[in-house]
């Protein structure tokens, strides 16, 4: 179950003000992480178990457990992880399968897929947007279902499929929102330190003012390595996505790189970079950067994330549009079945109409 509260939309502050606010939010999160104690050197092990667990990477865990010099217990655990990844079973063996159904309860700041601002100025004149075209916020009630399956293909390969379906209604407004998405991936462990993955999938979301559709395919190479007691997973990827726009579909190719690390201090970090090609006549994300730090704070895994992206392309009444968006977010569980996340995001644009500022707060409850 999710509950989300937004402070609403308002005109974004100047760039200096945006950076000051982001800085204050980042400092608050860093202060929280200041309570993380670094383990003494005597407690360090060849495999930084806590950091690997916080990273969430099965590949990194398998690599660390199979490095030379690990005890027999580590090798037994590695065999269990490899079996769960579908790398040890025979062709057609279902090694993992799950179905989850959860209620949806969240505050949605754009129920109808509308425009973020209700007016703009052009040639010194102020224009007001039709109220029906402006984003409407409110409570969304509904349900969602997710299924996941992993099937062994033999030869240290597996097929992984995921399917999501959700829908909801906003009480008192008559607005509905629904979506579905699916992905199928072929994974292969080439050797001790190299993994390959190829995926294809699609997603669709429907709302009052239209719909959003995308079909994608991508391929990734993962290279694992160790530096002293720390473990690292580097990734290089290429992909293409077809988007369905009002004036017809268009394709965008992109490449990406990432690095997930587990450190002997018991923390995990992740860095990602994505570069997408410019698409004539379309406003698309061309560059995206993110950095994450995950650590145990008061015995609970807490994640701090910083992100930046740049979107380019398209004209607004003859003015070229370029947007830059910064985001800072923090998430942590509050109990065995309760978690909370909060974020602040600000968008600066070459066109004032597209400037925006948002604060979001969500609560997840697992039954």
Q: Which residues contact 224 (CB under 8 A, 6 or more apart)?
A: 59, 60, 63, 193, 194, 195, 231, 232, 233, 234
What does the pLDDT look like over 5-34, one tens digit per residue?
A: 333 444 444 544 544 544 444 444 333 333
Query: 245, 243, 225: which is closest to 234 by C-alpha?
Result: 225
Structural domain of residue 341, as residue ranges?
2-365
pLDDT at 6: 39
pLDDT tens digit string along 264-280?
888 999 999 999 999 99
User: Is a pLDDT exceeding 70 seen at residue 204?
Assistant: yes
Q: How far is CA 226 from CA 68, 69, 70, 230, 262, in A?
A: 11, 13, 14, 6, 10
Q: Are 10 and 358 in contact, with CB atoms under 8 Å apart?
A: no
Name the one residue in this structure whose structure tokens are 């607005």: 175
Closest Cα to residue 101, out of 184, 165, 177, 169? 165
Q: Contact, 344 vs 358, CB < 8 A? A: yes
CATH code at 247?
2.40.160
CA distances from 354 to 53, 82, 346 (A): 40, 48, 11
Q: What is the pTM of this model?
A: 0.83
Alpha-carbon distance 321 to 312, whole Å?
6
* CA 271 from centre of chain: 12
- The number of distinct structural domains making up the chain is 1
């Amino acid at each position: 179950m999710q509950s989300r509260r937004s402070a609403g939309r308002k005109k974004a502050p100047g760039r200096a003000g945006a950076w000051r606010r982001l800085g204050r939010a980042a400092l608050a999160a860093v202060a929280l992480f200041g309570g993380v104690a670094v383990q003494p050197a005597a407690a360090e092990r060849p495999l930084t178990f806590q950091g690997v667990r916080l990273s969430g990477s099965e590949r990194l865990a398998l690599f660390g457990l199979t490095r030379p010099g690990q005890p027999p217990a580590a090798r037994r655990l590695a065999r269990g992880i490899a079996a769960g990844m579908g790398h040890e079973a025979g062709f057609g063996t279902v090694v993992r399968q799950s179905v989850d159904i959860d209620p949806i309860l969240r505050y949605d700041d754009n129920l109808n897929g509308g425009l973020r601002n209700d007016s703009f100025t052009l040639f010194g004149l102020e224009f007001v947007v039709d109220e029906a075209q402006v984003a409407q916020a409110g409570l969304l009630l509904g349900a969602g279902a997710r299924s996941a399956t992993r099937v062994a293909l033999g030869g240290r390969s597996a097929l992984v499929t995921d399917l999501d379906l959700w829908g909801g209604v906003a009480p008192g407004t008559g607005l509905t929102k629904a979506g579905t998405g699916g992905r199928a991936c072929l994974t292969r462990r080439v050797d001790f330190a190299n993994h390959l993955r190829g995926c294809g999938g699609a997603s669709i979301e429907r709302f009052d003012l239209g719909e959003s559709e995308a079909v994608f395919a991508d391929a990734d190479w993962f290279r694992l390595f160790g530096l002293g007691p720390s473990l690292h997973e580097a990734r290089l990827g290429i992909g293409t996505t077809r988007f369905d726009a009002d004036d017809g579909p268009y394709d965008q190719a992109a490449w990406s790189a990432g690095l997930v690390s587990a450190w002997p201090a018991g923390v995990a970090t992740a860095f990602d970079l994505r570069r997408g090609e410019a698409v004539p006549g379309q406003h698309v994300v061309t560059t995206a950067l993110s950095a994450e730090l995950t650590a145990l704070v008061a015995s609970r895994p807490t994640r701090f994330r910083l992100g930046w992206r740049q979107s380019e392309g398209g004209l607004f009444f003859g003015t070229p549009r370029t947007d830059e968006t910064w985001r800072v977010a923090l998430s942590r569980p509050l109990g065995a079945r309760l978690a909370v996340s909060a974020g602040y995001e600000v968008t600066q644009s070459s066109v004032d109409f597209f400037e925006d500022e948002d604060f979001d707060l969500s609560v997840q409850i697992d039954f």
